[in-house]
Chains A and B, each alone.
Chain A
Amino acid sequence: MAELVVNVVSAERSLWSGTAKSVVAKTPEGEIGIMPGHEPVLALLVDSALRIEEADGTKMLVAVHGGFFSVDSNQVNVIAEIAELAEDIDLDRAKAALAAAQAANEEDSSALRRAETRITVAGMAGSLR
């Protein structure tokens, strides 16, 4: 069966690349699942957890903040401004960031959303194991 070739790239560095069975991402219009043979797509990402099922069946989570992804002939490029693999997330720091963002008490603060996404992703990764 065909496989997806996935690249996860953040503004500062290339985060992960490999082959995968499926990729699930969240766009402003809702979640979208990509499997081999999907039509070409260019979509924006919202702050969320990106789910990748690797070729060997391992499930992987990436917290992405802003950016977009493109699908073209089984090549998936995830280009996020800021991205973190679930296992790299420092939960204590994320919680501190959340507390700081809540203390700032701003409407629609991107720091708040970032911290929440991070904690959610770390939580989801914990329940996977």
Chain B
Amino acid sequence: MGAQLRVYRRRIRSVQATKKITKAMELIASSRIVKAQQRLNASMPYLTLLNSAISAAASHASDVSKHPLMAKSADGTRAAVLIVTADRGLAGAYSSNVIKEGESLTRALTERGVQVVPYVVGRKGVGYYRFRGRVMAGEYVGFTDLPSYADAKQIGEDLLEAFLRPTSEGGCDEIHIVYTYFTNMGSQQARVRRVLPIEVVDEVVTSESGLPFPLYEFEPGPEAVLDGLLPRYIDQTVYLALLMAAASEHAARRRAMKSATDNAEELIRTLSRQANQARQGEITQEISEIVGGADALSA
């Protein structure tokens, strides 16, 4: 076998091996999107019931706007930003889109004179911040594939603790989440959502159906119920963001792996064509050598 042909064959084998890996990752990601979507749907009843209960409690509690979690401090000087990235790469621009969105939010806040305190989810984001030597108030890694409620609660508690601490002692006046919103399989966008102070005050007065809320008897009392529910709302918001980010991560990975597989196929086709040409060239050369040799003998 000629040297050239051998090189082609070796490259084809290597690309084929890569293709097998990307194809497998594509299939795994596809099945995980479905699972992530199911988890998203499974968490919806809790969200709906929690929201309507908060609205009901808020409409009965006296002066909701003074509640520490809803009151807006006019001159915020520090804001916590939770950035939800992936633990693993090979998902196209997924993590970098979120980081970019986070950077532009950071810029906008800094221009307003607000100091940004980053909280980062996912190894990719943590790596990005650490490489640039920026101090993170919180790092959470190891669960972006399949976030559990306990993970979200941990983050929610940290954020709430930072929010309730006075600004002079390093507390934050605002909390934002930057995550990837999952619209459907084909479309996900990086989004910013402000979690605290809670902005629901205007909409809470009527229930979803437009009917007034039943005259609930509150145990222990409307304010106490509201105090108990609002932290759950933070946890749930974080949980929802993590679930959406997980679904988006799998969707992004599937897309990236599909194009890698397609690309490998294209490469294999081109290389086989070149290998065939090289083999044919070799045969032609051998024939002409034999013919040339025979001619030389008979002459």
Contacts and interface: CB of A to CB of B under 8 A. Distances in A.
A81 B225 contact: no
B228 interface: yes
Interface string B52-69: 010011000000000000
B220 A41 contact: no
Interface in B42-99: 42-43, 45-46, 49-50, 53, 56-57
B239 interface: yes
A7 B45 contact: yes
A9 interface: yes
A119 B218 CA distance: 29
Contact of A42 (B39, B45, B56): B56
Contacts of A24: none
Contacts of A32: 219
A10 B46 contact: yes
Contacts of A11: 43, 46, 149, 152, 235-236, 239
Contact of B45 (A9, A39, A66, A68): A9
Contacts of A67: 232
Given A12-B39, A41-B216, A79 B225 contact: no
B45 A14 contact: yes
A13 B43 CA distance: 5
B239 A29 contact: no
Contact of A40 (B57, B216, B239): B216
A43 B50 contact: no
On chain B, which size bracket covers the interface?
A: 20 to 34
A102 interface: no
Nearest to B215: A40
A44 B230 CA distance: 12
B200 interface: no
A72 B214 CA distance: 7
Interface string A88-106: 0000000000000000000
B267 interface: no
B148 interface: yes
A120 interface: no
B279 interface: no
A12 B224 CA distance: 25
Given A11-B239, A12-B148, A66-B232, A29 B216 contact: no
A44 B219 contact: yes
Contacts, number: 84
Most buried by B among A11, A12, A13, A40: A11
B23 interface: no
B160 interface: no
A11 B149 CA distance: 7
Interface in B228-242: 228-229, 232, 235-236, 239
Nearest to A75: B214
A109 interface: no
Given A68-B229, A77-B49, A42 B42 contact: no
A14 B235 contact: no
B203 interface: no
Lowest 9 CB-CB distances: which A-B pairs, in order? A43-B219, A40-B214, A13-B42, A42-B216, A11-B149, A44-B228, A27-B219, A72-B214, A40-B216
27 contacts: A9-B49, A10-B149, A11-B43, A11-B239, A12-B42, A12-B46, A13-B39, A13-B42, A14-B46, A27-B219, A28-B219, A28-B220, A40-B214, A40-B216, A41-B216, A41-B218, A42-B56, A43-B218, A43-B219, A44-B225, A44-B228, A68-B228, A70-B49, A72-B214, A73-B214, A79-B53, A81-B235
